């Protein structure tokens, strides 16, 4: 009977954890928005003549910022996303998530770090399209989306994913500044068109949104053990407090008066 009661409590606690977990619907909606944004961006940037000219003009404006003081900073920002360095960032985030007992987040980070850049490399030759010249600058046809922009945004989003809740706003602000700096560096060095950079951001957002949707669905289907234990302890505390709250309080002096009456009778 006691074992059956414990099992029932754990089942109810698990159901409570699943009910409290966010639904994956919003994350899936964000993924659909990123996918739609990718499709619209490619159609406009590659097939609309006015947008193509504006894309090239914007690249030329950024490239005009190139100089002896700016170029070294731009190169350093880009080199922070070299393959070897990205492996280091990915392992660091995975280990940090595992140290916080967030195995699912660690798995999600590994998938994002692999899938996002690989998908960018897959899309480049598939969607290759010639670009108009930006003055003397000519960008190759297989440039959309930018792999470096994809890696930068994937790094930022994964850092926010594994960060403690209280630090996420700070991580998001610093990460957004870093991703923007990398995007500007790519344009100053004339590695990509502006539409390539935006496409990389959206592609990383797509993979992260899909990963978050999976995390939320998994949390509702298989609540984590430490969350179930916390729910069980909370429920046990509530049940223990309920009888105590309903128990009548002893009035001051009642016991002393009873002892006094007994002494008089004796």
Rama region for 21: left / alpha / beta (φ>0; ψ in -120 to 50; rest): beta
Mean pLDDT of the chain: 85
Residues 6+ apart with CB under 8 A from 38: 145, 199, 202, 203, 206
The sign of the dihedral angle between the CA atoms of 26, 30, 35, 40 is: positive
Per-residue pLDDT at 14 exceeds 80: no
| The pLDDT of residue 266 | 36
Tell me the per-residue pLDDT of 60-110, one tens digit each, with 9 for 90 and over.
999 999 999 999 999 999 999 999 999 999 999 999 999 999 999 999 999
Which percentage of the chain shows pLDDT scores above 70?
Answer: 77
Look up the pTM and report it.
0.80
Q: In whole angstroms, what is the distance from residue 158 CA to residue 29 CA?
A: 19
| The pLDDT of residue 134 | 82
| The pLDDT of residue 85 | 97
Cα 161 to chain centroid, rounded: 3
The pair of structure tokens assigned to 186 is: 């790519």
| The pLDDT of residue 133 | 87
* 124 phi and psi angles, rounded to 5 deg: -55, -55
Per-residue pLDDT at 232 exceeds 90: no
Tell me the per-residue pLDDT of 145-198, one tens digit each, with 9 for 90 and over.
999 999 999 999 999 999 999 999 999 999 999 999 999 999 999 999 999 999
Alpha-carbon distances, residue 135 vs 41, 55, 146, 173, 176 (angstroms):
23, 12, 21, 34, 30
pLDDT band at 246 (very low <50, low <70, confident <90, very high): low
Which percentage of the chain shows pLDDT scores above 90?
Answer: 71
Per-residue pLDDT at 7 exceeds 90: no
| The pLDDT of residue 177 | 98
The pair of structure tokens assigned to 130 is: 């010639």
pLDDT band at 36 (very low <50, low <70, confident <90, very high): very high
Tell me the per-residue pLDDT of 119-147, one tens digit each, with 9 for 90 and over.
999 999 999 989 988 888 999 999 999 99
pLDDT band at 256 (very low <50, low <70, confident <90, very high): very low
Q: Is 213 exposed, middle or buried (0-12, 13-18, 19+ CB in 10 A)?
A: buried
| The pLDDT of residue 66 | 95
156 with 175: CB under 8 angstroms? yes
| The pLDDT of residue 19 | 55
The pair of structure tokens assigned to 68 is: 């002896």
């Amino acid at each position: 009977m006691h074992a059956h009661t414990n099992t029932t409590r754990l089942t109810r606690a698990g159901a409570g954890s699943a009910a409290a977990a966010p639904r994956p619907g919003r994350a899936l909606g964000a993924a659909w928005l990123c996918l739609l944004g990718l499709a619209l961006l490619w159609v406009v940037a590659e097939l609309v003549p006015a947008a193509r000219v504006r894309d090239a003009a914007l690249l030329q404006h950024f490239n005009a910022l190139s100089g002896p003081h700016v170029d070294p900073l731009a190169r350093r920002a880009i080199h922070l996303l070299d393959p070897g360095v990205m492996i280091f960032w990915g392992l660091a985030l995975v280990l940090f998530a595992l140290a916080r007992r967030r195995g699912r987040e660690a798995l999600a980070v590994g998938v994002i770090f692999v899938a996002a850049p690989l998908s960018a490399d897959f899309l480049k030759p598939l969607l290759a399209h010639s670009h108009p010249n930006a003055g003397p600058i000519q960008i190759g046809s297989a440039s959309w989306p930018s792999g470096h922009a994809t890696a930068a945004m994937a790094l930022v989003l994964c850092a926010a994913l594994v960060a403690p809740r209280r630090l996420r706003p700070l991580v998001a602000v610093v990460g957004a500044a870093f991703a923007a700096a990398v995007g500007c560096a790519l344009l100053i060095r004339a590695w990509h068109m502006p539409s390539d950079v935006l496409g990389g951001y959206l592609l990383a957002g797509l993979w992260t949104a899909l990963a978050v949707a999976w995390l939320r669905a998994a949390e509702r289907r298989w609540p984590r053990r430490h969350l179930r234990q916390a729910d069980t302890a909370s429920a046990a505390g509530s049940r223990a407090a309920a009888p105590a709250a309903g128990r009548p309080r002893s009035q001051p002096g009642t016991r002393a008066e009873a002892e006094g009456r007994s002494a008089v009778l004796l």
